[in-house]
């Protein structure tokens, strides 16, 4: 796919998997808006990019509708449209927390970012995405959101689930399918990516081995889904290493 002149927005783009998605799309030739809550960290991430890559910082807090609206307005003024939205921003608050100690307040924090934030950003971006001839939305999910995996006691992920994070990713998967069905007639593809267990700040406190996958590895499938051609699939869950790997819902 020729990405010349295509425009992408990546939420949570200043570090980890998000940063590598930004870098990878910019290397494809996209103009990429790196969305981040913290202006200092966001601008530092942009400045650290290689010369020749068109990466632009935009302040964006997915939990703040005013911030989201301002970011989308800024993008519209500069480009007029959006070809790709990558909903990457995500948090966890309950690694290693026993289920009988789980607090609904922690879950609300997680859902505000991982679920409601996706709805806020997607709704705000839809008018710009509809101006694209090949719009794509990529939701960065997790195998921990696969009900098929979690319902199989023999699957290793069934023992790693958490009330907040895992259920929020299951909800994100449901959103992915709902959006895919609703936007099919508009030609907007909506898919989910499972990056695998990547060593990032987010899972530093995970009570199980984090493996040796890097953020570059984790960005592979989100980038592939973000660069799908017009005849590419919609409503699929793929990863962690290729589009040939289907994750069951």
Provide the β-strand partners of residue 198: 213
> Considering the domain boundaries, does residue 131 fall inside one?
yes
**Helix (H, G, I), strand (E, B), or coil: what is residue 126?**
helix
Q: What pLDDT is attached to residue 135?
A: 99
> Considering the domain boundaries, does residue 246 fall inside one?
no
52-73 tens-digit pLDDT: 999 999 999 999 999 999 999 9
Residue showing tokens 């869950």: 237
Instruction: Tally the domains of the chain.
Output: 1
The C-alpha atoms of residue 81 and residue 75 are separated, in whole angstroms, by 8
**Closest Cα to residue 226, out of 62, 16, 5, 24?**
24
Q: What pLDDT is attached to residue 157?
A: 86
Range of the domain at 200: 7-238
* Catalytic annotation, pick one of 33, 111, 165, 179: 165
Residue spans of the chain under pLDDT 70? 1-4, 95-102, 199-211
176-209 per-residue burial string, b: 16 or more CB within 10 A, e: under 16: bbebbeebeeeebbbbbbbbbbbbbebbeebeee
pTM value is: 0.93
Catalytic annotation on 33? no
> Considering the domain boundaries, does residue 243 fall inside one?
no
> Considering the domain boundaries, does residue 221 fall inside one?
yes
194-230 tens-digit pLDDT: 999 886 666 555 555 556 789 999 999 999 999 999 9
> Considering the domain boundaries, does residue 245 fall inside one?
no
């Amino acid at each position: 796919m020729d990405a010349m002149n295509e425009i992408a927005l990546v939420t949570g783009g200043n570090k980890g998997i998000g940063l590598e998605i930004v870098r990878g799309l910019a290397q494809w030739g996209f103009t990429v808006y790196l969305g981040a809550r913290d202006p200092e960290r966001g601008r530092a991430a942009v400045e650290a990019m290689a010369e020749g890559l068109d990466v632009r910082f935009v302040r964006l807090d997915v939990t703040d509708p005013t911030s989201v609206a301002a970011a989308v307005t800024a993008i519209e003024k500069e480009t007029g449209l959006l070809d790709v939205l990558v909903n990457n921003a995500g948090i966890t608050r309950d690694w290693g927390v026993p289920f009988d100690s789980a607090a609904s307040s922690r879950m609300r924090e997680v859902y505000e970012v991982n679920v409601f934030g996706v709805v806020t950003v997607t709704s705000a971006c839809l008018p710009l995405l509809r101006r694209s001839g090949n719009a794509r939305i990529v939701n960065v999910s997790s195998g921990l959101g696969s009900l098929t995996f979690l319902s199989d006691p023999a699957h290793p992920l069934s023992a790693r689930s958490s009330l907040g994070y895992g259920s929020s990713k299951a909800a994100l998967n449901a959103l992915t399918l709902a959006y895919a069905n609703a936007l099919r007639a508009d030609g907007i593809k909506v898919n989910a990516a499972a990056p695998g267990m990547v060593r990032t700040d987010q899972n530093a406190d995970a009570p199980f081995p984090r493996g040796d996958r890097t953020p570059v590895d984790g960005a592979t499938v989100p980038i592939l889904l973000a660069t799908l051609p017009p005849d590419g699939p919609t409503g699929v869950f793929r990863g962690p290493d290729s589009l040939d790997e289907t994750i069951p819902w």
